[in-house]
Amino acid sequence: MSIPGLFISFEGIDGAGKSSHIDGLAKAFTDQGRAVTLTREPGGTPLAEKLRAMVLNDPMDPLTEALLIFAARRDHVLNVIEPALARGDVVLCDRFTDASFAYQGAGRDFDLDVLLKLEQWVQSVPAESTGKLRQPNLTIWFDLNPAIAAERLAGARVPDKFESQPQAFFEKVASGYAQRAAQAPERFARIDAAQERHKVWQQITAVMVRRGWLSIMVASR
Ligand code: TYD
């Protein structure tokens, strides 16, 4: 019998420190014999990566931004995420639709009903006869106070369009994540991203072990 695929997304405001932990988890799953597809949003396909460059660099109105992000997502879902899940891979995705609700919805005050509609269109996948939308099995949410995130980001690199937003924007984004998490508590695992790095890693792997997805706790990387 084939192993069912697993779809895990990673979310949080810029500066919350998700990237290195995603790489660590990819290695942990590979070491335990699983095939891993490591991907990101916006992006993950040649077309979606082109759209990412526009979204992160070019000024545009909020509707255009939302449409481009969801267009990228559609291409990514159909061409990368669905085939990987059908093969039984563990899909580790650096951001997914919760980011649209947090950044475009809460951050930019963009219409949530439009986002809900786009989510429905883009995440309805032909392979699923259940009528349910494709959603991550689990979302690891790196929750961090925006003031701490701003300190971490200061001087780190040339900021993109979102990273250069003021702290007030990230306060809205953070509350957007909290709202999404409250709407789907069984899907979200909140990680206290203010902790030391190895404690964050411990918390993440403990979630994986509890769900039966990693068999043993993996030492900090
Ligand atoms: P990020 O994931 O932080 O990548 P990097 O570590 O390379 O900077 O950058 C993606 C940015 O795109 C981030 O600022 C959040 C933003 N974004 C949205 O605004 N909406 C979305 O739906 C997604 C997926 C990302």
**Domains of the chain in sequence order:** 6-219 (3.40.50.300)
Give yes or no for residue 195 having a pLDDT over 70: yes
Average pLDDT over residues 55-75: 97
Q: Looking at residue 10, what is its pLDDT?
A: 98
Share of the chain above pLDDT 90, in %: 88
Ligand 1 pocket check for 176: Cβ under 6 Å: no
- 179-217: burial string, b at 16+ Cβ within 10 Å, e else: ebbeeeeebbbbbebeeeeeebbbbbbebbeeeebbeee
Report the nearest atom of ligand 1 relative to the CA of 162: 14
Give yes or no for residue 218 having a pLDDT over 80: no
Instruction: Please say whether the beta carbons of 6 and 134 come within 8 A.
Output: no
Pocket probe for ligand 1: among 95, 104, 157, the residue whose CB has the most ligand atoms within 8 Å is: 95
Q: Which residue has the tokens 């690891």?
A: 140
Q: Looking at residue 220, what is its pLDDT?
A: 60
Return the DSSP state at 78. Answer: I
Min mean pLDDT across 55-64, 137-146, 193-202, 210-219 is at 210-219
Report the nearest atom of ligand 1 relative to the CA of 96: 24
Side-chain-facing half-sphere of 38: CA atoms under 13 Å: 13
Average pLDDT over residues 79-83: 98
Greatest pairwise CA separation for the chain in angstroms:
51
